[in-house]
A and B are shown apart, each in its own frame.
Chain A
Amino acid sequence: MRGLKSVVCVILPVFLLGCATKVSRVDTASTIDLSGRWNDTDSRLVAEEMIEDCLNQRWLYSWEARNQRPTVIVGNIVNRSHEHINTQTFTRNIERALLNSGRVNFVATREDREQLRDERRDQAEHSSVQTMKQMGEETGADLMLMGTINTIVDQEGRRAVIYYQVNMELVEIESNMKVWIGEKQIKKYVERANTRF
């Protein structure tokens, strides 16, 4: 009987472990590629590298030489790839990288501004005159950052080369002058298994 108990004690945990979903915490900066598709690492790395490049160009030094800090807005990042990429996450990554640099000012996106205007309209009616925020006092952006994500896929059977190209440009809103064009590529080789058990 004791023998049977010890066998059960050894086997049961094995079965329970086999059935349980395994979850472990990983560093958000770690690179884990499961499918070969555009993922969080691609989004973060591209955003950081492009903004670093953007902030180290002549256009910014000319503003700084005048002791001014430009105000930037992130416009549309158009997805022209073959994957449903969450461009909002990418946009947020860019906003964060820009803002944290401390070298540019930042204004809210079009959707956020609409929400804020609604709030000011509401304040005009319901808040005390001492605390309500005024309409028409918004900061106008000097530059707009726009971009596209493109892909080229070369696929044959179980092998594929996926080439992502992210193009971004910074345009002066008043003059429509492009002051910076950036480009970042990622190339992935994906090999899928033909068979599995």
Chain B
Amino acid sequence: MFSSCAGRSLLRQDKISDAVAEGDFLTAISLIRENDNLYGRNNEFLYNMDIGVLFHYAGKFDSSNTYLMRAADVYDELFARSVTNEAAAILVNDNIRPYRSKPYEIVHLHMFAALNFMAMGRVDDALVETRRMQLHFNEWERRDRSGNRYTNDGMFHLISSIIYEQAGEIDNSLISLFKSVQAYQNGPVPLPSVVRDYAYTKLVTYDRAADTARLNITAPEGNSVWELNPRGSEIVVVSYAGRGPVLRETVWAGTYVKDGLLVLRYTDPNGNTEVITTHAPALPQSEYEKANQGQPTRSGTTFRIKVALPMVSTSTSRVAHFTADPGTGNAKRSVVVSDIDLLARDYHQDNWNATLSRTVVRVILRTIAAERTKAQMRTDNPVLNLLLNLGTDVVTDQMERADVRNCFLLPQTIHLTRIPVDTGTHSVTVKAYDRNGNVIRSKNIDDITVRRGERRFVFNHSFY
């Protein structure tokens, strides 16, 4: 029971990954709904988030938002920590706590919701999402004493800037653009040169040159800026590439059998195990004297330590970039605006000390409890002692599991392509390229109707 939460993460990946890779998102949603054991009460956030993300990929924007809003509500409800759950987590493992989400997952939740609203033409509602996320950013900034943590997201502010522009709120659009550059400069995802050049030109154009000085950005050298016309129509292609990071368990375990063996085991995130077995140091003479006198000895007592920690596991994406051609032959190249691998690693690193401390405290408490149990069960029979001790070890061993839950349905990278177009109906050909410049996948997105001054968001994915 205690290990089932950790096992569920792997089960979810096994069940859903193939359908997602094939782009069969509705089947993946059916699989989630049909298999009650994939999630459970403690993973309510993930359940709603995963289905919301899958509906977004499937282009069912309204359904996507129904689930994403529920996930956001779960996140808000989990503001109050349960004393019972926290205490249980110290005794058992972190999987016993409700999954609260990682900051970058919340950012993507609100970004997907905003994009869904934009795709449905509901600009006001999209702006609500940017304001809601801004409240989280404010709170994270307030809590970050080091000033080095992830408290803002460049991609989110960039998308917000486009949405504000669509709503005709140019000042707010420029503020979001400023925050976007600032977040990229402070965060793990590097500032794309196109975004930097665009921000520079736009801020200067709208009489905010002082902001460029604050951001320490200079005039673009080439002609790589995005379209600046705030009333111009454009198609914004949001492309998702590669498989997002997953968390895997790393285990360090050792059993010391007094008067017997010393077994050390290491299991890496890929499940490969190395075992070292040697003779344990012999018991002291006093224990042998006790045995000769028929008294209980510590012979056969096992001393077991197991530490399980989560590690970020990433995969290599075949997709290097995308191009989008609106039928003019002038294909525009995409820009990487978010890298979830980098965000996950950064989060993992930031929280490593806290995770490690909590794990160590838990292991120590459990080891003490196990040793006391063994002492109480000790008999005169060394073989029976050994069996009872090993049994206790097996039980405590099963309790120690790393919390490897995450939203593995996020893509590895998110790309943006902005194509200025005339008012009317358009078709766009989006191509995914590998690192050698070969086309991996080509897709036509038809019937994109763009009104005057509208920014029309369309979506594309290559989870290779």
A79: chain B residues within 8 A (beta carbon) = 124-125, 128
Kindly state whether residue A81 has any CB partner on chain B within 8 Å.
Answer: yes
Kindly state whether residue A156 has any CB partner on chain B within 8 Å.
Answer: yes
One digit per residue, 1 when the CB lies within 8 angstroms of any chain B CB and 0 when it does not, for chain A 44-71 equals 0000000000000000000000000000
Q: Which B63-81 residues have a C-beta within 8 angstroms of A?
A: 69, 79-81
Q: Which B121-138 residues have a C-beta within 8 angstroms of A?
A: 124-125, 127-128, 131-132, 134-135, 138
Complex CA gap A83/B72 in Å reads: 12
B80 touches A196 (CB 8 A): yes
B125 touches A84 (CB 8 A): yes
A78: chain B residues within 8 A (beta carbon) = 124
A15: chain B residues within 8 A (beta carbon) = none
A187: chain B residues within 8 A (beta carbon) = none
B138: chain A residues within 8 A (beta carbon) = 155
Chain A: number of interface residues, binned into ranges: 10 to 19
Kindly state whether residue B227 has any CB partner on chain A within 8 Å.
Answer: no
A196 touches B81 (CB 8 A): yes
A151: chain B residues within 8 A (beta carbon) = 131
Kindly state whether residue A157 has any CB partner on chain B within 8 Å.
Answer: yes
B151 to chain A, nearest CB (A): 14
A99: chain B residues within 8 A (beta carbon) = none
Neighbour of A197 across the interface among B82, B125, B128, B132, CB < 8 A: B82
* Interface SS of B by simple majority: helix
Complex CA gap A78/B124 in Å reads: 7
B82 touches A81 (CB 8 A): no
A193 touches B69 (CB 8 A): no
A84: chain B residues within 8 A (beta carbon) = 69, 125, 128
Kindly state whether residue A194 has any CB partner on chain B within 8 Å.
Answer: yes
Complex CA gap A156/B135 in Å reads: 10
B80: chain A residues within 8 A (beta carbon) = 192-196
Kindly state whether residue A22 has any CB partner on chain B within 8 Å.
Answer: no
Known A-B contacts A155-B139, A157-B139; the reply to A82 vs B132 at CB < 8 A is yes
Complex CA gap A192/B81 in Å reads: 11
Q: Which B182-214 residues have a C-beta within 8 angstroms of A?
A: none
Kindly state whether residue A158 has any CB partner on chain B within 8 Å.
Answer: yes
Kindly state whether residue A153 has any CB partner on chain B within 8 Å.
Answer: yes
List 16 A-B pairs, Cβ < 8 Å. Answer: A79-B124, A81-B131, A82-B128, A82-B131, A82-B134, A83-B128, A83-B132, A84-B125, A151-B131, A155-B135, A192-B80, A193-B80, A196-B81, A196-B82, A196-B83, A197-B83
Besides the known contacts A82-B131, A196-B83, 4 further A-B residue pairs in the complex with CB atoms under 8 A apart: A82-B135, A157-B143, A194-B81, A195-B80
